[in-house]
Amino acid sequence: MKKRACRFCDTRLNISFVDLGMSPLSNAYLPPEKLQEKENFYPLHAYVCEKCFLVQLEEFETPEQIFGDYAYFSSYSESWLKHARDYTKHMISRFALSAQHQVVEIASNDGYLLQYFKAAGIPIMGIEPAANVAKAAQQKGIPTIVAFFGQQTARALAGEGKQADLLIGNNVLAHVPDLLDFVSGMKILLKPQGIITMEFPHLLRLIQENQFDTIYHEHFSYFSLTTVNKVFTAQGLTLFDVEELPTHGGSLRIYARHTEDRTKPVDLRVTKLLTREETAGIRQIRTYQTFGEQVKETKRKILKFLIRFKEEGRTIVGYGAPAKGNTLLNYCGIGTDFLDYTADRSPFKQGLYLPGTHIPVESPDKIRETKPDYVIILPWNLKDEVAEQMAYIREWGGKFIVLIPKVTVI
């Protein structure tokens, strides 16, 4: 067996954070003709490093296999588009960005964010590994190269004079198996006084709010500010600011610069959050060791709840087909014996089946047709947006359910 080692500091990984059993890749949706074929399942077991406190999964599939053809298109969430618009305005205002600056986004998806910088007249470039998603961006007029990001890609772009004044990475840092190559690549691509912003789910919120379903194979790593600060510092980058965001159940937006760049002093918010994480036990192993039992208890409560409803003859369907939903459904063993189907706005998912559970993905119109008693909102981080869009289920007495952080009827 190969050594199970931390992808940042190479310390041997011995301590379990949570074991979610065997699970398929959470974005490996199935067409009807594949339902009778073999599916690959992999251990979904997260460990914590005793030295740097990075929570992480082992790598069982290559990034090319996971992200080469991807089912997630960012533009199908209205709240995420608003988040992108607000971010664009904030960056342009705070850093006085203009037509003389270059904005580069890593994992730019379908151009959901760069389109707003383009509209403001600022030069843009996207880097996206999924060719099918990059094509959607290119069709919108967003210059996008199809590549996995790291030192090699960064050197090639820097050699072409395409270094970034603002280098963006939203919900990509967790998706990177070779963490050091990725972060050092950002240093290469960043101009001497450039700015990096990265957004990712906050590990402290994951622990405190029981967000175990955000653990899936596409997310190789789970970060606290404490750990991400160590990672960036080791590659010659300094975090000079941090913001706490409501997205994805609680995220961080970090701001980084070259360590040699003294024009951006470190904001007090960095020190305050590091202190708060310390107080919350982010550097104490026992904080991580109790999470697994908490997750098992949640599973039992979810199943007890659903069994009672089905025994009462209630109809239950899902809303959304997010990666986090597939973790939850596979871990809890919830298939079509509980959910008749799930509905998703993305036409790229409709007509497919969820990996592992084989729950069919329908159009949201199906909910109006079948009038279920309960709709489980699988992307619970978007529950307000979904409840507003689907408010008509109240017409026949339908109710919404979220299962994380605990089972709640809304």
From first CA to last CA, the distance across the chain in angstroms is 48
The domain 305-409 having CATH identifier 3.40.50.720: the answer here is yes
Q: What is the pLDDT of residues 354-393, one digit of tens each?
A: 999 999 999 999 999 999 999 999 999 999 989 999 999 9
Distances (CA, A) of 292 to 47, 289, 358: 11, 7, 26
Q: Is there a contact between 283 and 227 (Cβ–Cβ < 8 Å)?
A: no
Partner residues linked to 168 by β-bridges: 105, 197
Question: Residue 71: is its pLDDT beyond 60?
Answer: no
Residue 63 confidence (pLDDT): 60
Residue holding tokens 């190789």? Answer: 220
Q: What is the pLDDT of residue 247?
A: 86
Over the stretch 306-359, which tens digit does the pLDDT of each residue have?
999 999 999 999 999 999 999 999 999 999 999 999 999 988 899 999 999 999
What distance in Å separates the CA atoms of residue 401 and residue 377, rounded to the nearest whole number?
A: 6
The string of pLDDT tens digits covering residues 99-141 is 999 999 999 988 989 999 999 999 999 999 888 888 989 999 9
- For residue 173, pLDDT over 60 is answered with yes
Looking at residue 132, its pLDDT comes to 86
pTM for the model stands at 0.90
Q: What is the DSSP letter of 318?
A: E
Q: Using 50, 70 and 90 to split pLDDT, how confident is the model at 12?
A: very high
Q: List the Cα angle 182/184/188 in 5-degree steps.
A: 110
Fold (CATH) for 74-288? Rossmann fold (3.40.50)
What percent of the chain is helix, strand and coil (3-state, nearest 5)?
40, 25, 40
Q: Where is pLDDT greater, at 410 or 65? A: 410
Distance CA 37, CA 67 (A): 21
- In this predicted structure, which of 71-80, 247-256, 393-402 has the lowest mean pLDDT? 71-80
Residue 62 pLDDT greater than 80, yes or no? no
Within 13 Å and on the Cβ side, how many CA atoms surround 155?
5
What does the pLDDT look like over 83-94, one tens digit per residue?
A: 999 999 999 999
Domain coordinates of the chain in residue numbers?
A: 74-288, 305-409
Q: Compute, in degrees rounded to 10, the torsion defined by CA atoms 279, 284, 286, 287.
A: 50
Domains 74-288 and 305-409 share a fold: yes
Write phi, then psi, for 409 (nearest 5 degrees).
-90, 125
The torsion of the CA quartet 291, 292, 293, 299, rounded to 10 degrees, works out to: 110
Mean pLDDT, the chain, whole residue set: 93
Cβ 231 vs Cβ 8: under 8 Å = yes
pLDDT score recorded for residue 329: 98
Mean pLDDT of 167-181: 94
Cis peptide before 347 (omega within 30 of 0): no
Give the per-residue pLDDT at 348. 86
Residues written for the chain? 410
CB 30 within 8 A of CB 49: no
Question: Each residue of 46-61: pLDDT tens digit?
Answer: 999 999 999 999 887 6
Predicted confidence (pLDDT) per residue in 263-304, tens digit = 999 999 999 999 999 999 999 999 999 999 999 999 999 999
Residue 76 has pLDDT above 70, yes or no: no
State residue 1's pLDDT score: 41
